[in-house]
Structure 1
Amino acid sequence: MQQTKMERFDNYVRSRYNVYNSIFTTLPFDLITNTGVLLPLFTKICEQGYNKKENPTQIVNTFFEKYGEDLNDKQRLDLLFRFIQYIERQVVLFDAIEDAAFPIIYNLEGRGTLRGVKEEAQETYATEALREYMKGFQVRTVLTAHPTQFYPGQVLGIITDLAKAIENNALTDIQKLLGQLGKTPFFKKEKPTPYEEAVRLIWYLENVFYTSVSNIYKYINTHIFEGETLDNPIVSVGFWPGGDRDGNPFVTTQTTLDVAQRLRTTLFRNYYRDMRALRRRLTFKGIDERTAVLQQELYDHIFLNHDEVRLTPAYLLKELGEIRQTLIEQHQSLFLDQLDSFIGKVKLFGCHFASLDIRQDSRVHSRVVEAIASETKGVLPENYASLTDEEKISALVQIQASIDPQQLQDEMAQKTLGAIYAMKTIQKANGEVGCSRYIISNNGSVLNVMEAFAMLFMCDWPTPTVDVVPLFETIDDLAMADEVMATLYQHPDYLAHLKRRGMKQTVMLGFSDGTKDGGYLMANWSIYRAKENITRVSRQHGISVSFFDGRGGPPARGGGKTHQFYASLGPNIEHNVVELTIQGQTISSNFGTPESCQYNLEQLLSSGISGEVFAADKNLFSEADRATMEQLGQRSYAAYQEFKNHDCFLPYLERMSTLKYYAKTNIGSRPSKRGGKSELVFSDLRAIPFVGSWSQLKQNVPGFYGLGTALQAMKAAGQWEDAVALYKNSVFFKTLVENAMMSMSKSFFPLTAYMQDDPEFGAFWNMIFEEFERTRDLLLELTGSKQLMEDAPVMRASIQMREQIVLPLLTIQQFALREIQKLRAAGAKEADLAVFEKMVTRSLFGNINAARNSA
């Protein structure tokens, strides 16, 4: 009898973890205190302690009273640090086991896969409609410079090798790899440079996406187009590390050029390997000589700089096409399948591998343009800063001069214009698609777009081959996004540019800062409405608009069940392109292996296809449901605003959470907040430390706060049935509810229950806890469930296991935070806090990495 998905999880994940973890904890890393033996005992003490409503300090003290009476204070702290090291590696082990089990647990040919799409099209007589739609549809995943996971490159390699060994039940190899894992350092003493950050992510392109994306393209050509070639590169990859300057002063023009070169050289290294393998088969007359030349050219180009590159996709495809023709005509199409696979890769990846985006904050652009106005003669009016927006735009579109960045005194102006000159260089070497988008974050006006647009022309680029992409983030900016776009579409200079770009416009909508600004429900609803409104005005002006979602990873950053989210969008929202950011733990969990990567890319493809080909009108909001959704959004927004404006909000984050320790983790290259102010200002907070700090507290506020209050208000007003109807009718709302339940499943309030007795923050903690309980109870009632995530038992089990692994780590972290607070209250010197601050910082990694299945 076939096992259920849950039974397969129990057999291939839970059982394996228990076996291999017992091997890991008994390996002789520490012969003095037997850390691996003591850790399970500490875990048990933690579980019992929270059941008895003890605080983390009491739990740690209880453990040492039972099992560490003979240890002095230093030895006790050393043991806690060793616990941290062990737990970090237990998380890695669990990651590897889940990776190995992925093809067993999930049906790689079932619903949501390309095979499922093909069979549904056949059953509904929609095969021709499917082919037609695929000719213009695209999925684009953008790997971002927002690391919410910390694994050094060597650890990624261990995870991969360990997963293979586990898959093959190779016990000896597993034991050796566990030993390697135990002795491989995780912690970096210095922040990675933006280039090092990029190299870490390029590992996934080289080892995962290169195979998975080409397999998808091959399947579509073979099984859906039945041997014909789909000219549309239906799946592509974007890349932000090295190009994303927003809030990262360490990204330079040279960084951008170096990353683009690394992308290209890594791709050519993969091409060279494929060509070398092809040459072992294509040993035929009239072919062998040509493949030898191509192989040598690819090898040479691994080492060439931008200005030395000669190869182009057109040249490669021409040569490979002629080789293919000879193979068919003279050699009975021997190994044609292998050659076609390589040709498909060249069509997909060109000479760029992934498209490098440039991104900068609109406020920086304004300062740069003002600096240019004051430093240069005749380019802009000297009083530019005091002009109205309309006057500024009028001046910007009249610019004729080209500016040499090196002639400017302002450093930010040099860097900003330097990035645009770098785009031109990259396009010459990697092709136009290699770097052709300029994203404006914190975009709130037409002027924000026109300032960035004008800078393209300042860089000796009369007809720039660049798409200008506004990113609307806050609730207010999202509300007026359609007006901004309508005005741009009517501006003669911008419209002329759009005509040169094929009347196509990409608009980015950011979840992370929207959630931080307006709360979970309102941020999602604001983005939905913005998409509808922008779609309407774009269609009115004959513009083909596509949306780029800054979805991030966990639901609090807009993530969650991504394929369901895209499948829920109705015909009033343009969805010819499904494009989203992928970051941190979402990369490793959803795209970390060729199997999981291909599966999740196919889920994205099917989500876009199903909304158009199979259910075009299914997801339209009725007037009644739209009114209910609007009421819920406004009520949750009011509740979140009240919470955010509470006097304790920022002090609570600053003093009771791990917020300030994110800057010390050396996970990513960028600072943990914008600006250089020492005091904590809400607008300067970056979304990752903000969301991450709530996650470390196991409160996950950004993923649910305000939703319970909104539902309670509906109930009090006698409108509960309206909310139930909305849940039943709207896949969009249902997906939001499920994602909120996922966030809440990772909450554990007993960890911080001691805070309710704090004289300053007790009432604030209770406010959060009451909203959590309110939201949980009402969501269970709304969905008819008995427990959170009832309909996703495997993911729920995975989350529960991960939470159990990191429970002692969280306990150690809270213990250290309490010790810091106690020492500060006693007037201790900063040096006396150092060991506990280090403990907090070290404990962040395992917790961050364990949050892998957030999306």
Structure 2
Amino acid sequence: MRELTHTEAIDLVGRFEAAEELPEQMRSDVRLLGSLLGRVLRESGSPGLYEDVERLRTATIHAYTDETPEAFARAAAIADGFTVERADEVARAFTAYFHLVNLAEEHQRVRALRERDGRPGRSATDSIAGAYAQLSSEVGEEAALTRLQSLRFHPVFTAHPTEARRRAVSSSIRRLAEFIDERDAAIRDGADSARIEPKMIEEIDTLWRTAPLRAEKPSPTDEVRAVMAIFDETLYTAVPDVYRRIDEAIQGADAGSRPPIVRPFVRVGSWVGGDRDGNPFVTAKVTRKAAGIASEHVLLGLERTAQRIGRGLTLDATTTPPSDALLALWRRLRAADEDAATEIAKRSPNEPHRRILLVVARKIAATRTRDADLAYRDPEHLLADLRTVQESLVAAGAPRQAYGQLQHMIWQVETYGFHLAELEVRQHSAVHRAVLAELEGGGSRSEQTEEVLEVFRAIAFVQERFGPRAAGRYIVSFTQSAADLANVHKLARHAMGDGATLPVLDVIPLFETFADLQAAPAILAEVVHHPEFEARLDATDRRLEVMLGYSDSSKDVGPVAANLALYEAQAKIAAWADESRIELTLFHGRGGALGRGGGPANSAILAQPPHSVDGRFKLTEQGEVIFARYGDPAIAMRHIDQVAAAVLMASAPSNEDRNRDAAERYADVAAAMDEASRARFFELVKAPGFAPWFATVTPMEELGNLALGSRPARRGLSVESLEDLRAIPWVFAWTQARINLAGWFGLGTALEAVGDEHRLRQAYADWPLFRTLVDNVAMSLAKADARIARRYLDLGDRDDLAELVMGEMLLTRSWVIRVTAGKELLDNKPVLQRAVKMRSPYVDALSLLQLRALRSLRSGDEATPSDPEQERLLLLSVSGVAAGLQNTG
């Protein structure tokens, strides 16, 4: 196993980087960031670190491009030959590199978005403006406008533990992003861009010196504050900016001087601090605190916005006379806060609109500090004041001031209220049954029972303090009967006592397993006749929400059968809702990884059954996906625009007809795929000893030691039972082992069972559900690696199971390439293919370091103390692989 000479190594790396075909600006960023990291490793790493990193980098690139066993063995030998201290540093170096490459890639996306926005006349259907134009051509402008104005996109942020990087690392990367922006501006202006580099290298040095692993698991409150950072830095301003851009695209030059066509269609939800299913650290006290933190953030934002707009609204009464309603409002505000009003009037002589906004800012501050004499009772009263100002401006001939920044603030209040995110509670149906049995048994109340009852009191408290939208959705995990849903109302009555006002509750079933998905329509048909459900339907114009779990169904029957079952369940639920005159919203419990419903949301929306979207789409956003989609304002705006466009287009006759026709035409293909894939999946997971074997050949057990999130990895039982293993570590562990089994296993057998390559290619062209499934599997397989997968499987002693996995991987890869008419995976998605190829050799390096740590940890017996250095190396590699693969959970 001859090591490459220095000249050969330079040539190899150069050829590999050239083959990546990166956009020139991105190539420049990657080279600069990589060279600056190299300088940091030389200056701040231990002697010889940079050289060792380069040795392993060159070896893994050689192994990736050469594909011979000898080249791979040499790379593995280098990784195995490091001392554990050096391996630790090398793992940190590769992880830092991934953070920098991810940053460069994200920045290139922002550049591309800015260039796209600068081009006139763009109206592709993956933007709302384009989708609206297409829909208008199909259903007429009046009907399209009605659908646009009833549009709803509802992302729900969750704290599932797949975001492996610390907030300190994220903050460092954000600062680096600002420096790249600064450098771009200097280059555009012909200034000296080299002066930015010292700032960049200082920040990269900070990133290198920052501990990559959390010392302790974050508390639920820590997780709440992490999500608040996304709101503060992005969503508060990005969402009204989206509304503005859509209005400009539709109204053209008149936008900003006329009432907006767009109504606020984004609603933000949160499970952070509310989801207690399997998480004993989320208590009623935490739920109250989470609501308080969110309200503090949005009220502070609105206070500052009112101040900023007020200071700039220096319109003199002679040029812009106030309306009678505005003068009456001023009299009311002055009477409530006379001293402040007098002072503001002195500073704003003859500027009636300005002084109103400045007093409004004081009232918002009083709302935040709980000053009852001055506080707004609710967001509706604030909106009434803002609209009085807006109408006065319009009447005075100042429509641009009325529909400019003031309209942005109105949109913000309409979107976020005084609560920011609609906090949702989730609990397992079995917990409810146990608590009710105890309450009805008449004995003393356990700690669990008291806590469950206290949650309902917390919901009532949050609704009373922050408004009914602040909380009220109650999700029942593992809903298996109508009684499971009715139990929530029983518990609420127990909690609040006789005669007390009950909190307003929308009880949402979560159907997760294959059997539960099939039973869903019958359960819903029964529960809507329960008195509490009937009353709530009457109060909400017959609106009902139903949640579908992607994770457990995939773990239950495999990814292929789960996707088909989810489609069928949605179709049946939608048909039932239509017959029952119910306005249905399906809530999709998608994760970031392919085995948990991951992949592009917009293509998945367009593949949904007819009438299952109808202008409303709700989904979970979790882990690293939150920061990837919402961490940068430009990317967040693009994501919201794309998803909302898909929601609008999903109910277009052309799209619904296509999905309906394809489902009928390929029903036999679906049936064959379902049967064959499920049988193949059961052959694996129902094999004797599968569960402990899975724990042996992946770092599943060790993932529980990584301080990713507050929730435990299991529901309390051992790995002997897959049923009680959470879907997140199930998927995460397969991903870390570079097998990605949860995202693709069984598709190869399913396609082989159909056998007709021509028909499958036709299905790929005509059937959106099938195309989305195949595309997601292609991405999952592209991020897997057969050579590394084999080494993980060798950790176990079950050759039969290992061969089953590897055989299915090769079969699936072969069929996916044939169905997509390519020569290799992702040939039809060159940008994604490039991104995967660019990262793969570097992920390989971390995988080899993870393997050596796993082998060391597994080599001892139960009497041998664990090696903390090897455990640290393993966890470092887990963090690095997650950064490299990106969609991990």
Aligned equivalents of 2:297, 2:792: Cα separation in 1: 51
Tell me the residue number matched to 1:402: none
Moved more, 749-758 or 642-651: 749-758
Aligned equivalents of 1:777, 1:786: Cα separation in 2: 10
Structure 2: where are the runs of 5+ without partners?
Answer: 1-18, 184-195, 316-350
* Residue identity opposite 2:464 in structure 1: K
Tell me the residue number matched to 1:477: 516
Aligned equivalents of 2:592, 2:792: Cα separation in 1: 28
Does the Cα contact within 8 Å between 1:306 and 1:425 map onto a contact in 2?
no
**Residue deviations 1:176-204, cap 9 Å, x none?**
22122122222111111011011111111
Structure 1: where are the runs of 5+ without partners?
Answer: 1-5, 69-75, 377-407
In the alignment, does 2:558 pair up with 1:558? no
Does the Cα contact within 8 Å between 1:99 and 1:163 map onto a contact in 2?
no
Report the CA distance between 1:130 and its aligned residue.
2.1
Aligned equivalents of 1:197, 1:136: Cα separation in 2: 32
Does the Cα contact within 8 Å between 1:57 and 1:818 map onto a contact in 2?
no
* Residue identity opposite 1:843 in structure 2: S
Tell me the residue number matched to 1:24: 37
Report the CA distance between 1:304 and its aligned residue.
4.1
Alignment match of 2:180 (pick from 166, 174, 188)? 166
Report the CA distance between 1:289 and its aligned residue.
2.4
| Residues 584-663 of structure 1 aligned to structure 2 (within 5 Å) | 584-613=623-652, 615=654, 616-620=656-660, 621-663=662-704
Report the CA distance between 1:850 and its aligned residue.
2.5
Aligned equivalents of 1:661, 1:577: Cα separation in 2: 40
| Residues 89-108 of structure 1 aligned to structure 2 (within 5 Å) | 89-106=96-113, 107=116
Moved more, 315-324 or 608-617: 608-617
**Residue deviations 1:10-67, cap 9 Å, x none?**
32334421221111121255353242342121122334467443698974544686xx
Does the Cα contact within 8 Å between 1:749 and 1:769 map onto a contact in 2?
yes
Tell me the residue number matched to 1:389: none
Aligned equivalents of 1:230, 1:256: Cα separation in 2: 37
Alpha carbon RMSD of aligned pairs, Å? 2.6
Tell me the residue number matched to 2:837: 800
| Residues 110-509 of structure 1 aligned to structure 2 (within 5 Å) | 111=124, 112-121=126-135, 126-169=140-183, 170-224=196-250, 227-229=258-260, 232-284=263-315, 285-304=351-370, 310-330=376-396, 332-333=398-399, 335-336=401-402, 337-375=404-442, 409-460=445-496, 464-509=503-548
Does the Cα contact within 8 Å between 2:613 and 2:647 map onto a contact in 1?
no
Aligned equivalents of 1:761, 1:722: Cα separation in 2: 37
Aligned equivalents of 1:823, 1:424: Cα separation in 2: 53
Report the CA distance between 1:498 and its aligned residue.
2.0
Tell me the residue number matched to 1:749: 786
| Residues 660-679 of structure 1 aligned to structure 2 (within 5 Å) | 660-675=701-716, 677-679=717-719
* Residue identity opposite 2:88 in structure 1: F
**Residue deviations 1:799-848, cap 9 Å, x none?**
22233332211111001111223333xx76124x3322222122211212
Tell me the residue number matched to 1:528: 567
Report the CA distance between 1:711 and its aligned residue.
1.1
**Residue deviations 1:416-440, cap 9 Å, x none?**
1211111111112221111120001
**Residue deviations 1:710-737, cap 9 Å, x none?**
111222xxx5554344323211111111
Tell me the residue number matched to 1:829: 864
Aligned equivalents of 1:437, 1:308: Cα separation in 2: 30
Moved more, 723-732 or 476-485: 723-732
**Residue deviations 1:586-627, cap 9 Å, x none?**
112222211111111111111111122362422213533122
Does the Cα contact within 8 Å between 2:739 and 2:784 map onto a contact in 1?
yes
Tell me the residue number matched to 2:745: 705
Aligned equivalents of 1:277, 1:850: Cα separation in 2: 41
Aligned equivalents of 1:11, 1:655: Cα separation in 2: 44
Q: 1:639 to 1:295 in 2, by over 3 A?
A: same
Report the CA distance between 1:297 and its aligned residue.
2.5
Three-state SS of the structure 2 residue aligned to 1:573 is coil
Does the Cα contact within 8 Å between 2:80 and 2:849 map onto a contact in 1?
no
Does the Cα contact within 8 Å between 1:467 and 1:501 map onto a contact in 2?
no
Three-state SS of the structure 2 residue aligned to 1:117 is helix
* Residue identity opposite 2:616 in structure 1: V
Report the CA distance between 1:564 and its aligned residue.
0.6
**Please, what TM-score do these two structures have when normalized by structure 1?**
0.89
Aligned equivalents of 2:624, 2:45: Cα separation in 1: 33
Report the CA distance between 1:152 and its aligned residue.
2.6
Alignment match of 1:788 (pick from 825, 842, 866)? 825
Three-state SS of the structure 2 residue aligned to 1:797 is helix
Alignment match of 1:84 (pick from 82, 91, 94)? 91
* Residue identity opposite 1:174 in structure 2: M
Does the Cα contact within 8 Å between 1:25 and 1:37 map onto a contact in 2?
no
Report the CA distance between 1:273 and its aligned residue.
2.2
Q: 1:231 to 1:435 in 2, by over 3 A?
A: farther
Does the Cα contact within 8 Å between 1:648 and 1:761 map onto a contact in 2?
no
Tell me the residue number matched to 1:404: none
Aligned equivalents of 2:548, 2:788: Cα separation in 1: 35
**Residue deviations 1:110-166, cap 9 Å, x none?**
531123224435666843322110222211111112131123333222222212221
**Please, what TM-score do these two structures have when normalized by structure 2?**
0.86
Q: 1:775 to 1:317 in 2, by over 3 A?
A: same
Aligned equivalents of 2:313, 2:841: Cα separation in 1: 54
Aligned equivalents of 2:546, 2:130: Cα separation in 1: 31
Does the Cα contact within 8 Å between 1:137 and 1:577 map onto a contact in 2?
yes
Aligned equivalents of 1:268, 1:822: Cα separation in 2: 56
Report the CA distance between 1:691 and its aligned residue.
0.3
**Residue deviations 1:771-825, cap 9 Å, x none?**
011011111112212111122211221122233332211111001111223333x
* Residue identity opposite 2:823 in structure 1: K
Does the Cα contact within 8 Å between 2:62 and 2:71 map onto a contact in 1?
no
Matched-pair identity in %: 25
Three-state SS of the structure 1 residue aligned to 2:267 is strand
Aligned equivalents of 2:735, 2:437: Cα separation in 1: 40
* Residue identity opposite 1:173 in structure 2: K
Tell me the residue number matched to 1:401: none
Q: 1:712 to 1:582 in 2, by over 3 A?
A: same
Tell me the residue number matched to 1:576: 615
Q: 1:761 to 1:13 in 2, by over 3 A?
A: farther
Three-state SS of the structure 2 residue aligned to 1:680 is coil
Tell me the residue number matched to 1:399: none
Q: 1:581 to 1:512 in 2, by over 3 A?
A: same
Aligned equivalents of 2:620, 2:495: Cα separation in 1: 28
Does the Cα contact within 8 Å between 2:745 and 2:809 map onto a contact in 1?
yes
Does the Cα contact within 8 Å between 2:158 and 2:271 map onto a contact in 1?
yes
Alignment match of 2:772 (pick from 732, 735, 738)? 735
Report the CA distance between 1:361 and its aligned residue.
0.7
Moved more, 757-766 or 576-585: 757-766
Aligned equivalents of 1:582, 1:305: Cα separation in 2: 35
* Residue identity opposite 2:635 in structure 1: S
* Residue identity opposite 1:288 in structure 2: R
Does the Cα contact within 8 Å between 2:843 and 2:885 map onto a contact in 1?
no
Moved more, 131-140 or 611-620: 611-620
Q: 1:757 to 1:439 in 2, by over 3 A?
A: closer
- Residue correspondences, number: 803
Q: 1:256 to 1:113 in 2, by over 3 A?
A: same
Aligned equivalents of 2:849, 2:413: Cα separation in 1: 50
* Residue identity opposite 1:316 in structure 2: L
